[in-house]
């Protein structure tokens, strides 16, 4: 959510930043509503002051024995009380209207976020590894002989419908091994705190990280009002919801491996083959809560943590800075990491790392106490995949494929697979 004081002080800058995202100017509309709200609050306060004065006069009239004046003043107090209540209700309604408006406006991009309209204007900032040259036509993951016994879309469709999968046997074990490898690397080498969180959350938590109110259709809500998390960003970031921490404790760095649930609203016809885009999937999520002066630096650190997983797995990738027309609603700058998929002969997103500034912190009222004293300030928050487990499985299978349908598995996974190094063409580990 945006700081109304910042908009009052620099309306032109606010509109210019929105224009970079392709949005219309809004400062005039916001400030008009803000002025109306403040005027109503002031009027309510003045009426309340009149009410208190009249109440004192009632006591004086009663003491003097002036019954007529007593009755007049008592009626006046009643009128003022009703007037104050009405004004306060109007002020509250205007305040909520302003809050709703501010909550629906996207975050403002960093100065170093590339300008552009869509994904075609994203800027590549790094490329690592060289895609393998196969002596045969590489297949997509679901067409590999060794994968077919352990990746069942028909049974999943019977159980749940489209965009689900049942993993079994060796494929399920490789999937689990990837998640364990990611978590261990982030904890042991990258200094993140392993965390286990619920996948059902209250609506306030979805508001806190920006999934609500604007993107409710992208997630699933239960009949009793809970929401299934689209990512552990929701739970990890909201750990600090409503909290005021000491500056010395920053940064807070978390990592969690969870199930994630997305309705994929509006994605009909996109990536329907295989397990690239699912309603239920697993992700290892990173979240950092930092001092405002450190958040841009933390973005690069988190990006390197995610890139390091791919490098350890030997998977070629490229990192792109998303342009202003492609960054998410709550992001100020985003780095997408795209892994090479030989079966599709292209790079596909496997991680998105974003810095949100104080955008989420204001929604959550998450602050820190400055070490040198002074008023509490809002923290900055960041989130990123470290990595999407299912997509990483796809990349491992496709990049390690052999002509006979078997798959050579990355060396770093061997200890998690009981020393096994190959997914054979018949779907077993050897």
Count Cβ atoms below 10 Å from residue 216 Cβ, excluding itself.
Answer: 15
Tokens coding 162: 């489209």
Active-site residue flag, 352 = yes
From CA 201, how far away is CA 198, in angstroms rounded? 7
Question: Of 163, 173, 262, 333, which is the active-site residue?
Answer: 262
**Residue 391 catalytic?**
yes
Reduced to 3 states (helix: H, G, I; strand: E, B; else coil), residue 198 is coil
List beta partners, residue 151: 167
**Catalytic choice (352, 354, 385, 406):** 352
User: Under 8 Å CB-to-CB from 136, ≥6 apart: which residues?
Assistant: 403
The one catalytic residue in 301, 333, 391, 402 is 391
Candidate list 277, 296, 312, 348, residue with the active-site label: 277
- The three-class DSSP label of residue 216 is helix
Q: How would you classify residue 53: left for phi > 0, otherwise alpha for psi between -120 and 50, otherwise beta? A: alpha
Q: Please choose, from the candidates 142, 232, 229, the residue with its C-alpha nearest in 3D space to the C-alpha of residue 179.
A: 232
Catalytic, 348? Answer no
Residue 32 burial (C-beta neighbours within 10 Å; 0-12, 13-18, 19+): exposed
Which ranges in 104-229 belong to alpha helices (H)? 153-159, 169-188, 203-209
Alpha carbon distances (Å) from 197 to 158, 234, 238, 285: 29, 10, 11, 11
Instruction: Measure the CA–CA gap between 294 and 292, rounded to whole angstroms.
Output: 5
Q: Which of 36, 45, 311, 349 is catalytic?
A: 349
Encoded tokens for 60: 């004086």
Find residue 6's DSSP bridge partners. Answer: none
Write out the catalytic residue numbers. Answer: 262, 277, 349, 352, 391
């Amino acid at each position: 959510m945006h700081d109304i004081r910042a908009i009052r002080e620099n309306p032109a800058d606010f509109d210019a930043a929105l224009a970079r995202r392709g949005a219309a100017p809004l400062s005039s509309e916001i400030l008009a509503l803000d002025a109306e709200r403040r005027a109503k609050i002031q009027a309510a306060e003045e009426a309340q002051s009149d009410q208190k004065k009249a109440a004192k006069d009632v006591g004086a009239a009663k003491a003097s024995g002036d019954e007529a004046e007593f009755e007049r003043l008592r009626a006046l107090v009643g009128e003022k009380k009703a007037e104050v209540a009405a004004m306060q209700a109007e002020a509250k309604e205007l305040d909520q209207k302003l809050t709703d408006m501010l909550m629906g406006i996207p975050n403002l991009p960093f100065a170093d976020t590339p300008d552009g309209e869509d994904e075609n204007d994203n800027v590549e900032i790094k490329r690592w590894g060289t895609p393998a040259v196969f002596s045969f036509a590489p297949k997509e993951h679901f067409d590999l002989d060794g994968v077919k016994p352990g990746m069942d879309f028909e049974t999943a469709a019977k159980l749940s419908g489209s965009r689900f999968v049942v993993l079994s046997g060796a494929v399920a074990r490789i999937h689990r091994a990837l998640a364990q490898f990611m978590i261990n690397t982030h904890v042991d080498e990258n200094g993140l705190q392993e965390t286990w969180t619920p996948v059902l959350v209250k609506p306030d938590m979805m508001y806190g990280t920006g999934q609500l109110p604007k993107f409710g259709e992208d997630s699933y809500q239960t009949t009793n009002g809970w929401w299934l998390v689209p990512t552990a960003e929701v739970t990890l970031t909201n750990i600090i919801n409503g909290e005021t921490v000491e500056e010395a404790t920053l940064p807070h760095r978390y990592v969690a491996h969870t199930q994630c649930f997305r309705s994929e609203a509006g994605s009909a016809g996109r990536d329907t083959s295989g397990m690239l885009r699912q309603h239920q999937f697993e992700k290892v999520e990173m979240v950092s809560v930092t001092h405002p002066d450190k958040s841009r630096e933390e973005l690069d650190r988190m990006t390197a943590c995610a890139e390091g997983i791919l490098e350890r797995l030997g998977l070629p990738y490229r990192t792109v800075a998303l342009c202003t027309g492609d960054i998410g609603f709550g992001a100020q700058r985003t780095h997408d990491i795209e892994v090479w998929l030989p079966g599709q002969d292209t790079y596909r997103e496997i991680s998105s790392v974003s810095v949100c500034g104080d955008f989420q912190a204001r929604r959550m009222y998450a602050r820190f106490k400055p070490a040198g004293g002074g008023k509490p300030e809002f923290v900055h928050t960041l989130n990123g995949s470290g990595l999407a487990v299912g997509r990483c499985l796809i990349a491992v299978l496709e990049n390690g494929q052999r002509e006979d349908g078997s798959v050579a598995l990355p060396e770093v996974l061997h200890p998690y697979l009981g020393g096994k190094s190959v997914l054979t063409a018949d779907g077993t580990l050897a």
